[in-house]
Amino acid sequence: MSTPRKDENMKAIVYQKEGGLTAVSIPRPVPEADQVLVRVVNVGFCGSDHSLVESGQLADGTILGHEVSGVVAGLGRDVTGVAPGDRVIVRPTFCGQCRDCAMGKPQFCQVHRRLIGLGDLPGAFAEYICVFPSMLIPVPDMVDDENAALAEPFAVALHGIRISGRSSGSVLVMGGGPIGLALLKLLVVMGFGPIALSEPKTEKRELASRFGAHAVFDPLAGDLNKEGFLFTGGVGFETVFECSGVPANLQAAAQLSARGGSVCVLSVIFSDAVISPATLTFKEITLCAAYGNTHEENRQCLAWMAEGRLDGRDLITHRIGLEDLPDVYRSQIHTGLAVKVMIGFGEAGACA
Ligand SMILES: [Zn+2]
Ligand SMILES: [Zn+2]
């Protein structure tokens, strides 16, 4: 395995103000002395990638993509502890010393923060990326490349469960997108129950049933509040996770919460939302929100995958090549038809 020469090109998908996501050929990156070159094997398309494209705030030429698995393909001369051929996933840097890191929240670290696809480093909608060694998490042999690329969305879900402070009991997941469905799978693995999911799209409710939801509700067809209380014997849900991004669901979540329950917001809602403080007070509801995930949570999800307890591959609704992304974005992602689009670049050496 050799480091690509400077004059070699690679395929990438860049954002352009005129035309949106566009397939291009650009020079392969060459790692600096303290960097690692990673050949991308799989990369998932995240809901936040869609939000960023639609925001119109991206600079021309931005390369997105952060749900990545790959193989170390080259090393800067000062890099130690990493070898060509290592299978890895990539997460942001953190310093380990600051207030945020000391609190166990490295996702807030502001010290020389480096991240791919959402921050300062080009993302993985490309054949190669350059990253720093501390960003790499090894992939266990028993975990294949697609599952490895999905460890990050599962880590988002695991982070939400930890923030909720709950370890068992009844749960309502609001929203059957990739995070809601990943969360549902994790809740099953972690022994929560009974679990219900509300989602207006039939296909996503069917997936939820297949993944182990004990009940699925269509919030547009019936009275979700009534159905939720019927399902929980009049008690309400011990934990409600808001994963739909619908502002009105905050108050709906509080109403569906049991006395002493928790409402955890996992979606990112930029608009204002109304929530009745009296609903919170009279039931002593804990309202919390989860942001990002830690390296440790990624390692935990990879470990569960290696043990055969967690498999994310049935979340994948579309397997595509990199050059298909602009078309699939318009027809399947922007229209809300896809759950998880997984881009593949070919062989790596997974055994699953
Ligand atoms: Zn993501
Ligand atoms: Zn820090």
Starting from the CA of residue 112, give the closest ligand: 2
Indicate whether 238 pLDDT > 90: yes
Cα-to-centroid distance, 238 and ligand 1 (Å): 27
pLDDT of 1: 45
Cα-to-centroid distance, 90 and ligand 1 (Å): 12
State the Cα–Cα distance between residues 267 and 245, nearest whole angstrom.
5
| pLDDT band (50, 70, 90) for residue 348 | low
Indicate whether 302 pLDDT > 80: yes
What would the mean pLDDT of 286-302 be, rounded to a whole number?
97
What would the mean pLDDT of 104-125 be, rounded to a whole number?
93
Domains and CATH numbers, the chain: 9-138+312-344 (3.90.180.10), 155-289 (3.40.50.720)
State the Cα–Cα distance between residues 331 and 130, nearest whole angstrom.
31
What would the mean pLDDT of 217-230 be, rounded to a whole number?
97
Q: Is the Cβ–Cβ distance between 66 and 46 less than 8 Å?
A: yes
Indicate whether 26 pLDDT > 90: yes
Q: For residue 148, what are the contacts with CB-CB under 8 A and spacing of at least 6? A: 42, 69, 87, 89, 139, 302, 305, 350
State the Cα–Cα distance between residues 322 and 126, nearest whole angstrom.
8
Percent of the chain whose pLDDT exceeds 70: 96
pLDDT of 270: 87
pTM: 0.93
| Residue-wise pLDDT tens digits, 208-220 | 999 999 999 999 9
Angle between helices 202-210 and 178-189 (to 10 degrees): 20
Bridge partners, 42 (sequence order) = 69, 344
Starting from the CA of residue 99, give the closest ligand: 2
Cα-to-centroid distance, 46 and ligand 1 (Å): 5
Starting from the CA of residue 102, give the closest ligand: 2
pLDDT of 5: 58
Indicate whether 314 pLDDT > 50: yes
What would the mean pLDDT of 109-128 be, rounded to a whole number?
93
Bridge partners, 37 (sequence order) = 74, 130
Starting from the CA of residue 291, give the closest ligand: 1
Indicate whether 158 pLDDT > 70: yes
Q: Report angle CA 336, 341, 342 to the nearest 5 degrees.
A: 175
Cα-to-centroid distance, 88 and ligand 2 (Å): 22
State the Cα–Cα distance between residues 141 and 143, nearest whole angstrom.
6
Q: For residue 321, what are the contacts with CB-CB under 8 A and spacing of at least 6? A: 343, 344, 345
Cα-to-centroid distance, 155 and ligand 1 (Å): 10
What would the mean pLDDT of 96-103 be, rounded to a whole number?
96
Identify residue 249 by its one-letter amino acid code.
N
Cα-to-centroid distance, 66 and ligand 2 (Å): 20
pLDDT of 127: 98
pLDDT of 352: 41
| Residue-wise pLDDT tens digits, 325-341 | 999 999 999 998 899 99
Q: State the CB neighbour count (10 A cutoff) for residue 327.
A: 12
pLDDT of 337: 87
| Residue-wise pLDDT tens digits, 252-290 | 999 999 999 999 999 988 899 999 999 999 999 999 999
Mean pLDDT (the chain, rounded): 94
Indicate whether 14 pLDDT > 50: yes
Cα-to-centroid distance, 284 and ligand 1 (Å): 32
Starting from the CA of residue 48, give the closest ligand: 1
State the Cα–Cα distance between residues 44 and 6, nearest whole angstrom.
27
| Residue-wise pLDDT tens digits, 162-179 | 999 999 999 999 999 999
Cα-to-centroid distance, 292 and ligand 1 (Å): 8
Cα-to-centroid distance, 101 and ligand 2 (Å): 4
Residue 114 CA: distances (Å) to CA of 16, 55, 59, 66: 23, 22, 18, 12
What would the mean pLDDT of 223-241 be, rounded to a whole number?
98
- Identify the CA nearest to 47 among candidates 349, 281, 339: 339
| Residue-wise pLDDT tens digits, 42-81 | 999 998 899 899 988 899 999 999 999 999 999 999 999 9
pLDDT of 208: 98
Angle between helices 178-189 and 145-164 (to 10 degrees): 80
H helices within the chain, ranges in order? 47-55, 99-102, 145-164, 178-189, 202-210, 224-231, 249-256, 277-283, 295-306, 325-328
pLDDT of 56: 84
Q: For residue 78, what are the contacts with CB-CB under 8 A and spacing of at least 6? A: 33, 34
Residue ranges with CB less than 5 Å from ion ligand 1: 46
Q: Is the Cβ–Cβ distance between 130 and 35 less than 8 Å?
A: yes
| pLDDT band (50, 70, 90) for residue 296 | very high
What would the mean pLDDT of 89-105 be, rounded to a whole number?
95
